[in-house]
Structure formats: structure tokens, C-alpha cells
Chain A
Amino acid sequence: MTLLEVEDAHTYYGESHILEGVSLDVAEGEVVALVGRNGVGKTTTLRTVLQLTPPREGSVRFRGEDVTGLKTHEVADRGVGWIPEERRIFTQLSVEENVRVAVPDDGDADAAVEDAFGTFPDLREFAGKDAGTLSGGQQQMLALARGLVGDNDLLLVDEPSEGLAPQIVKRVAEALADAAEDTTLLVVEQNLPLALDLADRFYVLDNGQVVESGDADETSADDERLRRYLSA
């Protein structure tokens, strides 16, 4: 069934019109990639879903319920997680607290922390350290862990490979692939081979609109339909 539907969303930053009618949908269990050049509105699309920058026109539906205009925490409570660009972990909280803070009030925080360290064993030894002292790769792992423990049905993942060394990118990709087994993912990714590898389907965004979409397994990274919109 369809988990997320974005319909004709128009989103502005101040007076600049960023999304000019984006429509897309994500089915439960799918991994969907959102690709496109810098500044075409990929991050804004994720922010629009979460109502961080609510659309002025159009709607966002989650599990068939219209969530447009709700508060961000209400959308998040319904099971939408966000792994933002540049990770945005809480640098002054300990690694363990970064995980704990993401567990809902009625959740079992201890179990969640155990789970997270089970998935990312590298983080365990830093549990009590300030998260700001972690390396970039470790911070990305932590951000993923934070997204996963929130009991989310949909994860919005923004540029997970950005700024990471190739081996680390591989680890992140594995972690995402693992995550995809239990949750639905909407992934913004610059690294096209990685995006197509992870995803079942893709959307191409250009100038605030969806211009292409297709099946990721049938499309290669040098497909003409993609190259037109991605090459600078």
C-alpha cells in the first residue's frame, strides 16, 4: 500500500519558490531514491514531508492521512524519521544520549541503545563520549542509529554518503540496505551508482519539479534520461 503521497507541493523559502508542484509517492517497504542537481529542491522535498517547511499549496499524506499543516513533531510521531544532511547529531550529548533522545517516551530506551550498538558495534566503545568527538563516518552511523531507534515506518535520508571516505560509504550503504529490510526509505543521494544500487525506484527532480521517474534496477547510471538532468 502507499505509505507516503506528496501531491502538487509548492514550497517557498521566504519569497523564493523552491518546489513548483512536486508529486511523488512511496509504497510501504520500498526504497525510493530522489536524485537531481544541487539546489533543485531535494532537501526541501524532505523538509516538506516533515512539515519543517510546510507547503503553501498541495498536500502530504502519510498512511492515507493528510498531515499537511501538522506540527513537525506530530508528523514524526506518526512514524517518520529524518536523517538530515550533515547529520546534525547533538555534539554536546554523549553518543548514548543521542540514541536515547530519539526513543519515544513510551519506548524502552535501554533496549533501543542495545539494539543500536548491536547494529553499529563501532559506536559502543564511545557510548559515554560527547558525540562531537566522533569521526565523520561514526557520526553518520550515529545519525542512522538515531533514525532507526525511533520506531519509524518511513526514513527520510539526506545525502548519507556526503563527505565520507569510500570505505565508509560502503559501510553506510550496507547499513542502509539492512535498514531497508524493515523500513521504507526515501533517500536523497548525489552518488548515482549508490542511489540506483540501493533503490527500487527513483525520481529525478529539476527546478522544483519531478521530471523523470523509473525503475532503478532497469536503469543504469549513464542512462540518457538521468544524464540530461544530472550532468552540470
Chain B
Amino acid sequence: MMSIVLAGFVDALGQFLRPENLAAVLVDGLAKAGLYVMIASGLTLIFGLMGVLNFAHGSMTMIGAYLGGLVMVTLVGSATGAGARIVFFFVALAASFALLAGLGGIVEIGLVRRLYDRPPLYQILLTFGLTLILDELIRIVVLFYGMQPTSDWVAAQGTKPYFLEQSVDLGLVSVPGLDLFEIGFGVLTVATLWAFLTRTRYGMIIRAGSEDAEMTEALGIDVRRVFTVVFALGAGVAGAAGTLLMWESTWGASVPLAADALLPAFVVVIIGGLGTFRGTVVAAVIVGMTDAVMTWWFVNEIRFAGLPEMTIFLLLVVMLVLRPQGLFGVEEVGGH
């Protein structure tokens, strides 16, 4: 019995190590990393500067998915060409970034700002309460328009241009077009945020404020205003991430997306080190790859559907045991 299992395992390992399978897993992993980095970036920016673990982040992603879907479904008809669909997608992206950034700004000024002087627990509580409100509001709206809040918004998924539904032949393997789009999108997001943080004066101020807000304030910089801007930015990126997820068959716009996006975002941010953008990027790749590898093993050998998800949470636990501050984190951040 044991030897049969073992033989099957060795056989599967041989399969797994074949170049075409490894290449497919690599592309899948990078595509997943692209999504994870989108989901987690906003969370890490906000935590880095303000030390606020934003539990409403997943809800903001979810709202972004619905907003993006709304724009797409409104603009795209069955006759809309592929090029126009891509253009509309960027319109949708800009719209959900802008609206979520606005929401983030309002939340920071109206609510979070009152709590900076209290222990970190209160910010967790506040943003947790916010998720209840946001999720229920969206549920009301979605129900009002006669849709099911718990199932994916299929019409929105159908607004993809045809070439993202097809496979692209890369020689060694053929991969889903959407995967390539997600990889490109992740790279673009990382590059944009990276350039913003390291090449602009505002980015420099954000990094200075993340390290020592009081000292930054004493240099004549209105750190509170920077807080508002970064909270808005983080929320906006969450919204953009949601718009990207709307097209994905494994995610899709639905109310439970809030929790489904929040948990991996936490995992990525903790593994990378709370508040370090570099860490978040590296961790997104690690988590994406782990997810892809485990998905391959589940599909091909180990009949346990929870394998990828469980491994990701195990990764979180193991990381916290071995190196609580994460890959690139500074000790003490996040404790109390």
C-alpha cells in the first residue's frame, strides 16, 4: 500500500519536473503573484506609514470589483471590439481607483484619524466594523438590482476581450492570455508604485514618515495630510486590484470576495514584513508560486481541494514562528 502511494508520488514528481509542466506552473505562479501584489500593496503602504492594519481592505477590493464590473457592463456591448474593451478596462480601472481613493480619504479624515492616539487594537476594531457596513451596503445594492451577492458576477466576467480567453503559445507551453495580462499588470503596478516611492519627493516623504513620523513633522511636513493621501492611495490600489479580479474566474465580483481577498493580503504582507513594499513584492511572488505549485499537485496527484489554500496559511504560520518580522521587516513594528 505504502509503496503504491510512494510510486505514484515519484511518478507525479517526474511529471512535475518536466520542463513544460514547470514552465506552466511558473507562468501560473507569476500570474497569481501579479494578483497578490495588487491586493497586498495598498495594505502595506497604509501599514508602513500609519501602523494601521486596515481590515476594510478586502471590502475596498470587493467594491472595486463591482465598480469595475459596472463600468465594463455599461460600456461593453456584444459588438464591442477587443481593443475597445481594453480601453474601457482602463477607464474602469481609473474609475474604481478614483472612487475608492475618495472613499479612503473620507474614512481616514472622518474615522481613522480620531484613533491614532489609541492602541493599535482600536484601529483594527474600527476598520473591522467598517467591513460590516461596507459589505452589507454592497449586498443591499446588489440585491436591489436583482443579482445574487454571493455568486460571481458572470456578466462582468464576460466583458473580457476574446484574446484574454484564449491560450497563447509560448513555444514550450501554451498559457492562458489572462495570465499574461495579470503578469504584465502586476509588473506595471509594482513599477509605478516603486517609481512613485523612490523617484518623487512625495514618495520620499512617505518613506521618511514611515520610518519616523514625528521627526518628519518636525521638518515642517504636514504628516497628517500625508496620512490622508496614503490612506486614499492604498484604498485606490485596492480598488484597482478589485477591477482586475473581476475578470478572473477563480475570484470574480461577489460580496464574499471581501474576505477572500483580505486573508491572502494579510499573508503576503506579513510574510514580506509589515510595511515594507519590497517585502510585499517578494512575498507575493513566493505566495503566488506556492499557490501555483500546490494547485498543480492537487490537480494531478493529491486529491485534496484545500491544498493550495491550506499551504498558504501554513506558510504564514511557519513564517511567524521562524521570523515574525517577515522577510524584510524591522523588528518591533507591529508588536506593542
Tell me if B7 counts as interface (CB < 8 A to partner A).
Answer: no
Stretch at the interface among B159-167, B199-207, B228-236: B199-207
Which residues of chain A (53-102) have a CB below 8 Å from chain B?
71-73, 76-77, 82, 84, 88, 90-93, 97, 100-102
User: Is A205's CB within 8 Å of the partner chain B?
Assistant: no
Q: Which of B70-78, B122-130, B131-139, B217-225 touches A? A: B217-225
B212 x A88 contact (CB < 8 A): yes
Q: Is B11 an interface residue (CB 8 A)?
A: no
Q: Which residues of A contact B205 (CB under 8 A)?
A: 101
- Interface size class on chain B is 10 to 19
B220 touching A90 by the CB < 8 A rule?
no
Q: Contact between A71 and B220 (Cβ–Cβ < 8 Å)?
A: no
Asked if residues B211 and A84 are in contact (CB atoms below 8 Å), the reply is: no
Could you say which of A72, A93, A150 contacts B208, with CB atoms under 8 Å apart?
A93
Known A-B contacts A91-B211, A92-B211; the reply to A150 vs B222 at CB < 8 A is no
How distant is A96 from chain B, measured CB to nearest CB, in Å? 10
**Distance in angstroms between the alpha carbons of A189 and B218 in the assembled complex:** 20
> Chain A 102-126, CB within 8 Å of chain B: the 1/0 string?
1011000100000000000000000
Known: A73-B223, A88-B212. A50 touches B218 (CB 8 A): yes
Distance A170 CA – B216 CA, assembled complex (angstroms):
28
Q: Which residue of A lies closest to B215 (CB)?
A: A88
Please, which residues of chain B bring their CB within 8 A of the CB of A146? 219
Among B211, B216, B217, B218, chain A packs the most CB atoms within 10 A around the CB of: B218
In the complex the two chains form, is B220's CB within 8 Å of A77's CB?
yes
Residue A52, interface by CB 8 Å? yes
The CA of A120 and the CA of B16, in the complex, are separated in Å by 59
Assembled-state Cα–Cα distance A72/B217 (Å): 6
Q: A108 to nearest B CB, angstroms?
A: 13
Whole-angstrom distance between the Cβ of B76 and the nearest chain A Cβ: 43
Q: Interface range on chain A: under 10, 10 to 19, 20 to 34, or 35 or more? A: 20 to 34
Chain A residues with Cβ below 8 Å from B211 are 90-93
* 8 Å CB contact of B218 from A82, A93, A105, A109: A82
B309 at the interface (CB under 8 A from A): no
> Hey, which chain B residues are within 8 Å of A105, CB to CB?
201
Q: How far does the alpha carbon of A153 sit from the alpha carbon of B205 in the complex, in Å?
A: 23
Q: How far is the CA of A109 from the CA of B218 in the complex (A)?
A: 18
Q: Which residues of B contact A82 (CB under 8 A)?
A: 215, 218
The reply to whether A100 and B217 form a contact with Cβ atoms under 8 Å apart is no
Checking B201, B212, B218 against A72 with a beta-carbon cut-off of 8 angstroms, the contacting residue is: B218
- Please tell me if B214 contacts chain A, counting CB pairs below 8 Å: yes
Contact B214 A73, beta carbon cutoff 8 Å: no
B208–A76 CB distance below 8 A: no
Q: Find out whether the CB atom of B207 lies under 8 angstroms from the CB atom of A92.
A: yes
| Residues in A137-192 with C-beta less than 8 Å from chain B | 146, 150
Decide if A73 touches B221 in the complex (CB within 8 Å).
yes
Q: Are A76 and B207 closer than 8 Å at their CB atoms?
A: no
Which single residue of chain B is at the shortest CB-CB distance from A98? B208
Least CB separation from B214: chain A residue: A52
**Max chain A CB contacts within 10 Å: which of B219, B223, B224?**
B219
Determine if B223 and A101 form an interchain contact, defined as CB atoms under 8 angstroms apart.
Answer: no
Residues of A at under 8 Å CB distance from B?
50, 52, 71-73, 76-77, 82, 84, 88, 90-93, 97, 100-102, 104-105, 109, 146, 150
| Listed A/B pairs (28) with beta-carbon separation below 8 Å | A50-B218, A71-B217, A71-B222, A73-B217, A73-B218, A73-B220, A76-B217, A76-B220, A77-B220, A82-B218, A84-B215, A84-B218, A88-B212, A90-B208, A90-B212, A90-B215, A93-B208, A97-B204, A97-B208, A101-B204, A101-B205, A101-B208, A101-B219, A101-B221, A102-B219, A104-B220, A109-B201, A150-B219
Of all A-B residue pairs in the complex, the 6 with the closest CB atoms, nearest first, are A76-B220, A82-B218, A77-B220, A72-B217, A88-B215, A73-B222
